[in-house]
Chain A
């Protein structure tokens, strides 16, 4: 018996092991970008 389409298994992402870790990486990337932009603004303005 095939799995009904509405019950798709919640697979982990291909890297990092779990979705919360993937989300944390995206949030951390944003924080790094803001820090870099802040440095950029302070340095050149």
Chain B
């Protein structure tokens, strides 16, 4: 990295921390600290929601997925806009009317304390672990590229976020997220333009798209119905809908964002705008990965993009064999490059037979290159069984470091860091909210004989301490994240283990008025066991876990409510819609 890159990156990080501390000053009570005094407008809410969801993993893993697997991952987001509609119509007015700090508060009014506590606990476990992954991802960048100690890197990044999140709460989180999203959009846009300008002069944009298409990288929609197929339109629309409904409707890191809105209208608009922008944004990032793939079709790519694994195998017992595979791969990719040019030339003629022949030759060359790469990866795993044999997370970064100019590298890295900080800060703020409101305030707080302003100050202090605690927890978990394969999938799989059950609890609360607390509590335990069983003993794609968990809660709680002994208390609670 050049001095200019360091300057851009350092200025961005320090600027974000200082801006967050400055914007978050003056919190006197929990309303200010956790909900920014409910003063945010819809555009801030939209950017805040997007920044919370778009972690650094989005920039590390998603282009890599586009590179390795094509565009089909975009289908994962198809259910999101529909979930935004449902939440705008139902959850937003309910949460706003009840003036809750957390989504889980609502469950006590509707059911009972144990159900609220169960949902809060599931959230704390899941989100606490996910926050660790969010910190780990950019730390991985520095450790691999600059040789820094990953443990210290996780600690430093986590500390940056904790400083302004603990200091300023939701105000700091929301305001810094706006700046962070601007940096992110700037980084993506610049990288995209530079990738296109990095293609050979004789390869136009349309040529690049055609090459990506024929090599299976533009498979955006798949209509086949297959429960084992991780990404198709059905898993995206149905499983993705349930996942988004749960994530945005019951995960405090998102609920906390739109609860800061100054009115129901502002909160709704913030969610709906997210529903409009999110899918095109993910499409663009995947397309970026597909274009990186095309770039490497015309320039010799490394056989494996993780330089640490490559160095290890080269220095080990299989070093000679690996170097031989590297040479074979280089020759195969040169053949692929020539055939890609031949395919482009054929497309410029009207000769269909010639196009078909060139297409076959190109795909054969790709198959050959992939076979050699698989042999090289096998050597890496043979040499180091701990290696995952996956370099998806390194593809985009490798491209950035080796092919983008000075200054832009710093900007892209700043975007990756901004993304990590934005989602981590929202997660820590949410974990703090749940800890202070659903645990401390509900079970531990003593208010007798203490002045209200003292109570308020103490609650803010507890929230700040909780933020620091969860920051430390996330950093500790980050140490284990390197064993989880593709990071973005790891986060989504982890979320899917819990989201379905939590969503089932909330849907039952919203719509099944005859179901009571005990029934839904027992049903939630059964549902969670069913989801874990699916994870351990079946090959069902993880998106379906959300459906399984949710339906189990609804079905079992309904079944138990039929029996008089488990029957519901009639709910005339004001918290029901």
Contact = CB atoms under 8 A, between A and B. Distances in A.
Interface of A: 5-8, 10-14, 19, 22-23, 26-27, 29-30, 33-34, 37-38, 40-41, 43-45
Contacts of B89: 19, 23
Nearest to A30: B81
Contacts of A33: 279-280, 283
Interface residues of B, number: 37
A23 B271 CA distance: 11
B275 A41 contact: no
How would you classify the secondary structure of chain B's contact residues: helix, strand, loop or mixed?
helix
Nearest to A29: B276
Contacts of A44: 209-210, 212-214, 218
B218 A45 contact: yes
A18 to B, nearest CB: 12
B77 to A, nearest CB: 10
A6 B99 contact: yes
Given A11-B264, A19-B268, A27-B81, A40 B276 contact: no
Contact of A23 (B85, B214, B219, B233): B85
A41 B218 contact: yes
B265 A41 contact: no
B96 A30 contact: no
B105 to A, nearest CB: 13
B310 interface: no
Contact of A8 (B82, B88, B97, B283): B97
B217 to A, nearest CB: 9
B264 A22 contact: no
Given A19-B268, A37-B221, 15 more contacts: A5-B99, A6-B97, A10-B93, A12-B265, A13-B269, A19-B89, A23-B85, A29-B276, A30-B78, A30-B275, A34-B78, A43-B213, A44-B212, A44-B213, A45-B216
A5 B97 CA distance: 7
A21 to B, nearest CB: 11
A14 B222 CA distance: 37
Interface in B62-93: 71, 74, 78, 81-82, 84-85, 88-89, 93
A6 B212 CA distance: 54
B81 A26 contact: yes
How would you classify the secondary structure of chain A's contact residues: helix, strand, loop or mixed?
helix
A16 to B, nearest CB: 10
A4 to B, nearest CB: 10
A41 B219 contact: yes
Nearest to B220: A37
A3 to B, nearest CB: 12
B357 interface: no
A13 B74 CA distance: 29
Contacts of B78: 30, 34
Contacts of B512: none
Contacts of A14: 265, 269
Contact of A38 (B99, B214, B221, B280): B221
Contacts of B154: none
B573 to A, nearest CB: 14
A1 B398 CA distance: 63
B272 A26 contact: yes
B263 interface: yes
